[in-house]
Amino acid sequence: MRLLHTSDWHLGRSFHRESLHEAQRIFLDHLVEVVRTERIDAVLVAGDVYDRALPGLDAVALFDDVLFRLAALGVPTVFISGNHDSARRLGVGSRLIDRAGIHLRTDPDGCAVPVLLADEHGPVAVYGLPYLEPALVRERFGLDRGGHDRVLGAAMDAVRADLATRPAGTRAVVLAHAFVTGGAPSDSERDITVGGAASVPAAVFDGVHYVALGHLHGCQTLAPHLRYSGSPLAYSFSEEHHRKSMWLVDLAADGTVAAERVDCPVPRPLARLRGTLAELLAAPGLGRHEQSWVQATLTDPVRPAQPMEELRRRFPHTLQLLFEPEGGGGDGAASYAARVSGRSDLEVAEGFVRHVRPGRPVDPVEHAWLIEGLETVRRATERAQEEAR
């Protein structure tokens, strides 16, 4: 059976205020063409279809259009909700849409209810595990505590129990949206540490033949049967060197996997440039970046006048300007940003507590309070954004 594994579309997202609507439309056109020309038997979309819980109308229109075209090709497609999606909104109409071969798996109660496919070698059971937020789903899995590792472990126990009731030789495929230990993150994924440990061990997924992962935006292989497709577009400058692609997965009769990458269209390359303003404007070797989206870090000892305007004369698509003066001087904001780069919200909060209260570490009770506070703020922010729209 030939599968196409993709994830993290983030429909509706922009790139440093630059609209990506047209780039996302081109990607979806490309996906449909790959499904047609490569004779795909099923498409797997491992979460974060939308960029936010309440997507804009343009993003919804893109999703509606690609659903229609995939259904018209007669190719079964399985979606799961990610941590950016509103599971309930994404799952609206799922029972009706199932009849068209489009399977939206957004309810944690359905983790062990597979989409059943078949080829000439027999049945293939596809299990969709939506993003499982520990605080919201623990009780459903009979847990009184624990983070992502425990809730995903419970979901996979249910998957393995169902698989044991299937005919001998049934091949099993799982879609999951999680941070699996060993994966390499980038700057554009939303932190999922709040509510428990961020990562889950790869062994959680033992017992199945292929795991289509979503959440991390870089395409990567953790094991032959355990892969991230990554996002189809770059959503941060940390993805400058990513090769954006989807996985074309051939699932053999015995469940072994052969996979190759299918490249995605690149709307515009990324470039991170560093130097004084004069150096960036004059260096002949930088000519290849003149049509790239540019992040420029200026090292001038004194901030130049109108640096963005000057840079855009040569690099018209400069989107981000940073200052790191040689010698370590410069504004505190840039230094603070550098200090917290790559740290989760929880790590930043705990670092602040240690900073204002030196000599006394964060104790377990305070750690729990910080988790609860961050979770409360996140939910309140999402509610406010939905009400504002």
- Per-residue buried b or exposed e for 289-308, using 16+ beta carbons within 10 Å of the residue's own CB: beebbbbbebbbeeeeeebe
Q: Which residues partner with 247 through β-bridges?
A: 5, 261
pLDDT at 139 over 90: no
pLDDT at 195 over 50: no
The residue type of 270 is L
Q: What is the DSSP string of 149-161?
A: HHHHHHHHHHHHH
Specify the pLDDT at position 388.
52
pLDDT tens-digit readout, 261-282: 999 999 999 999 999 999 999 9
Biggest alpha carbon–alpha carbon distance for the chain: 72
CA distance 249 to 229: 11
Which residue shows structure tokens 């126990």? 157
Tokens of 27: 């990607």
- Taking residues 25-42, report their average pLDDT: 98
151 backbone φψ class: left, alpha, beta (φ>0; ψ -120 to 50): alpha
Contact 231, 194 (CB under 8 A): no
Sign, CA dihedral 145-151-155-157, equals negative
Q: With cut-offs at 50, 70 and 90, classify the pLDDT of residue 183.
A: confident
287 to 217, 249, 272: CA distances (angstroms) = 28, 38, 13
Which residue shows structure tokens 């190719």? 75
Specify the pLDDT at position 228.
97
Specify the pLDDT at position 350.
80
Specify the pLDDT at position 196.
45
The residue type of 384 is A
pLDDT at 20 over 50: yes
Q: With cut-offs at 50, 70 and 90, classify the pLDDT of residue 386.
A: low
Q: With cut-offs at 50, 70 and 90, classify the pLDDT of residue 190.
A: confident
Q: With cut-offs at 50, 70 and 90, classify the pLDDT of residue 332.
A: very low
Beta strands per DSSP E along the chain = 2-6, 14-15, 18-19, 42-46, 77-80, 102-105, 115-119, 122-129, 171-177, 179-180, 199-200, 210-214, 220-223, 226-228, 245-251, 257-263, 270-275, 293-298, 318-323
CA distance 321 to 297: 6
Q: With cut-offs at 50, 70 and 90, classify the pLDDT of residue 75.
A: very high
149 to 130, 343, 353: CA distances (angstroms) = 14, 20, 27
Mean pLDDT, the chain, rounded, equals 90
Specify the pLDDT at position 377.
81
CA distance 101 to 68: 10
Q: If DSSP codes are grouped into helix, strand and coil, which group holds residue 147?
A: coil
DSSP 130: -
305 to 266, 311, 334: CA distances (angstroms) = 33, 11, 18
Tokens of 3: 């599968």
pLDDT tens-digit readout, 43-74: 999 999 999 999 999 999 999 999 999 999 99
The residue type of 371 is I
Tokens of 380: 């309140």
pLDDT at 385 over 60: no
- Taking residues 316-337, report their average pLDDT: 74
Specify the pLDDT at position 194.
43
Which residue shows structure tokens 């919201």? 136
pLDDT tens-digit readout, 303-312: 999 999 999 9
Q: How many CB atoms lie within 10 A of CB 248?
A: 17
- Taking residues 130-149, report their average pLDDT: 88
Specify the pLDDT at position 191.
66
* C-alpha 103: how far from chain center: 20
Q: Give the global pTM.
A: 0.83
Specify the pLDDT at position 359.
67
- Taking residues 230-241, report their average pLDDT: 95
Specify the pLDDT at position 383.
65
Specify the pLDDT at position 328.
59
| Residues of the chain above pLDDT 90, percent | 72
